[in-house]
Homo-oligomer: A and B are copies of this chain.
Amino acid sequence: MELMTVLLEQAHPPVTELRLSKVLAALADPGRLATVRALAQKGESPCTRLQHDAGLQISRSTFSHHQKVLREAGILLVRVRGAERILSLRRDDLDSCFPGLLDLVLNTPEKQT
Which A positions have Cβ atoms within 8 angstroms of B?
Answer: 18-21, 24-25, 27-30, 33, 97-101, 103-105, 108, 112-113
Contacts and interface: CB of A to CB of B under 8 A. Distances in A.
A30 B30 CA distance: 20
Copies of chain A in the complex = 2
Nearest to A24: B28
A106 to B, nearest CB: 11
B25 A21 contact: no
B33 A29 contact: no
Given A18-B112, A113-B19, A101 B104 contact: yes
A105 B104 CA distance: 12
A19 to B, nearest CB: 6
